[in-house]
Amino acid sequence: MNPRQRFLISAIVGGSVASLCMDVAQYTWAFLLERDRPSGDQDEETEAITSVVAILTRLSPGTFPAANAAQIGRVIHYVFGIGFAAGYLYLLPRGPATLLRGSVFGTLLWLLSDRILIPVFKLGRPWSRYSVTERSNALVSHLVYAIIVEFSRIDE
């Protein structure tokens, strides 16, 4: 297998599996710690993805039924997951995978998405409107995602 094939497999499979594990971490964290969330409130990622879907449907020709918004949101989530995995794996220096490097990547990804992009583009509520458990859920799920991506690289 040539290096380009290894890279593509690592990015697609690693990004997809990491995104799935991110979802599992989010749902588990919410189940265990966010039982006091007001009914109907969504977590930060779900609000952001819902906002992105709304923007895309306004910009796209034709219409998407509202019932498809959740499925479109899941596709967007996985596309971002694969894209960020590809970027990270492309820039990643060679060497053994480490928990520290994955944790740094996860923290930086959380800062970029949750602390910069979501507020700047107003894709969710203001930061102060999320509970501490919702904020920690976002950080933990990004760490899970990034650590799995870190260990997904296929080397020689």
pLDDT in tens, 103-153: 999 999 999 988 888 888 888 777 777 778 888 888 999 999 999 999 998
Is the model's pLDDT at 53 over the cut of 80? Answer: no
DSSP annotation of 62 reads S
Check residues 55 and 77 and name the one with the higher pLDDT: 77
pTM, two decimal places:
0.83
Cα angle 14, 112, 147 (rounded to 5 degrees) comes to 30
Percent of the chain at pLDDT > 90 equals 39
Is the model's pLDDT at 39 over the cut of 50? Answer: no
| Among 89, 128, 121, 118, CA closest to 105 | 89
pLDDT at site 90: 92
Is the model's pLDDT at 87 over the cut of 90? Answer: yes
Is the model's pLDDT at 77 over the cut of 80? Answer: yes
Buried b (16+ CB within 10 A) or exposed e, 128-143: eebeebbbebbbbbbb
Whole-number average pLDDT of the chain: 83
Is the model's pLDDT at 4 over the cut of 60? Answer: yes
Mean pLDDT of 14-22: 95
pLDDT at site 122: 83
Check residues 76 and 72 and name the one with the higher pLDDT: 76
Percent of the chain at pLDDT > 70 equals 86
Asked if 42 and 123 touch (Cβ cutoff 8 Å), the reply is no
Q: Which two tokens stand for residue 122?
A: 């107003």
